[in-house]
Chains A and B, each alone.
Chain A
Amino acid sequence: MVMIEFRKGWADATRLEQILRAGQAPHDCAEMTFGFCPDSKIMIDAAVRLLALLNQLDQCTRRVVLRFDDGVAGVMGYLDRMGFFDHLSKGIEVIPDRPTFSGAALHGGHNAGIVEIAGINPKLRDQDLPTRLTTALTMACGSRSDAGALGNAAWTIFTELIDNVFSHSQTSLDGYAALQVYPRGNMVKVAVSDSGLGIMQTLRPVLSREFPMLARLSDTELLVEVFRQGLSRHGADRGCGLKGSAAKAMKYKADLDVRLPTIRVRLSPGAVNYRLNTAYCFERLPLIWGTHICFTFKTNLQEKE
């Protein structure tokens, strides 16, 4: 059985990639254990991506064990509070046992600093999810000088991201969205994930017909253009959602992190457009199906990270 270990300290999306790249790619293993060592912690961007990956593995008939050395006193308690186990496939074994009562169900909505993991399923449309995310974000960013205008912009960012999951993911697995405020880190992370084909897989086949000028771009370059120009497999008159989301997020100086099945791109706000943060761009990563997006907003623009 392959072991994938989360050691002491924080695991964000970058750390998650390092952990996954260190060993055999999860989709290539028949059996594996994801172990959370004592004092390990996980950020919401990594938690949502991990949830999507675990459910994909289960659906692909892999045997997966999730082990928490600290039990509910540690990272397991946090994940329970965020609703992680409510969405985790039943086929995945959890050690110690899954919580009897869901922390998210018991306390959901009572903490302004989080929005618990919500499933995104076109058949069970959670109409108020963008509003819940917006309310939490604007409360966390209340001291920013642009806080007043941020609310409407953030709402559009979230609606477009969620709608994008409805429109493009083409999967029976749910997508997920969640938010966490990190007051000490001066940031709010909003993660939206789906387990579908990913933008590249849906866009590449139509590229030579719809956007021949872009056919020779690498996956990373093409992904940047998706957010800059708004490209869609449905033609030139579609695709305003991701572009519009990114444009608004950039106006409010949010960092953008996008993980596709085998590539990851981080974009930072530039003067006019998003620019690639090449230090965090990787290709040929271990397979995780879908499109995983995380926006990081600063809670206070003056404060340094």
Chain B
Amino acid sequence: MTIELYSGSLKQMNEPGTIRLISCMRRPEAWGREEGRIVYPCLLHQIESQPGTMIFRVSMFGVVRVDMSFISETVVQLARRYRGHKGFCFVDMTDDDMIENCDAAATKAGQPLLVWRGGDPIVIGPRPSPGTLDAFQFALAKPCVRVADFVNVMPNVSVTNASNKFKQLWQQGYLLRREQTAETGGLEFVYQRIA
């Protein structure tokens, strides 16, 4: 049985792109909305030059300090702009203060983002609601999941309820989703973690 989810072309589409934030900055420190607005078009250009890429890992390698206003005008703004269509997450971010700044900017904008430290994700910005937390944690453990996969391991959750949870997570920017042909021949959604 071939599941389209793992087909070659789709796998290529699922390959995340990497954006090094420092490549758009003039110095390793950046602050303020104005500086953010200067960096934003550079980031946007990098995204638009990879139209098939759905997930972008924003590497903070080489970035010494960024404040809340700068992050708000750059990565948070991008994540909001592409919510539901493309996903953004942070990698190479080790400084707790930097995470705190990004968290504050994402929270204010109502835009969730993930920070990956090793294999572990940290949610910054608004946290998922208690009702969707189980579905979100399930989705984080695998590259892609279907509602049917979740219902299989959570027999007390109905398909409708599970569908609503995943739809909500997608709409709120925690997950991405795409359509694929189901084994039955119809269409189903595949939900993808942002990693």
Contact = CB atoms under 8 A, between A and B. Distances in A.
Contact of B32 (A163, A238, A247, A248): A163
A131 interface: yes
A3 to B, nearest CB: 41
Given A130-B31, A152-B97, A244-B101, A159 B67 contact: yes
Interface string B42-81: 0000000000000000000000010111101000000000
A305 interface: no
Contacts of B32: 159, 162-163, 166
Contact of A240 (B34, B95, B96, B104): B104
B31 A238 contact: no
Interface string A42-61: 00000000000000000000
Interface residues of A, number: 26
Contacts of B65: 152, 155-156
Most B CB within 10 A of own CB, among A156, A230, A248: A156
Interface residues of B, number: 24
B31 A237 contact: no
A271 interface: no
Interface stretch (B6-14, B105-113, B175-183): B105-113
Interface of B: 27, 29, 31-34, 65, 67-70, 72, 95-98, 100-101, 104-105, 107-110
A26 interface: no
Contacts of B110: 237
Given A237-B110, A238-B108, A240-B108, A160 B97 contact: no
Contacts of A131: 29
B66 to A, nearest CB: 9
Given A149-B97, A152-B97, A230-B108, A125 B34 contact: yes
B147 to A, nearest CB: 31
Contacts of A244: 68, 101, 104
Q: Is the interface of A mostly helix, strand, loop or mixed?
A: helix
Nearest to A251: B100
A218 interface: no
Contact of B95 (A152, A160, A166): A152
8 smallest beta-carbon distances between A and B, as pairs: A159-B31, A163-B32, A240-B108, A152-B97, A159-B67, A244-B104, A244-B68, A237-B109
B34 A122 contact: yes
Interface string A223-245: 00000001000000111110110
Given A240-B105, A248-B100, 8 more contacts: A149-B96, A156-B101, A159-B31, A159-B70, A240-B72, A241-B68, A243-B108, A244-B68
Interface string A248-269: 1000000000000000000000
Interface in A106-154: 122, 125, 127, 130-131, 149, 152-153
Contacts of B97: 149, 152-153, 156
Contacts of A243: 104, 108
A167 interface: yes
A97 to B, nearest CB: 38
A239 B67 contact: no
Given A155-B65, A156-B68, A163 B101 contact: no
Contacts of B109: 237
A121 to B, nearest CB: 12
Contacts of A247: 104
Contact of B33 (A130, A149, A167): A167
Nearest to B105: A240
B108 A160 contact: no
B68 to A, nearest CB: 5
Contact of B108 (A122, A162, A237, A248): A237
18 contacts: A127-B27, A153-B97, A156-B68, A159-B32, A159-B70, A160-B68, A163-B31, A163-B33, A166-B32, A237-B108, A238-B108, A239-B108, A240-B72, A240-B105, A243-B104, A244-B68, A244-B101, A244-B104
A49 B31 CA distance: 25
Nearest to A129: B31
Most A CB within 10 A of own CB, among B31, B100, B109: B31
B68 A240 contact: yes
A225 B82 CA distance: 31
B62 to A, nearest CB: 16
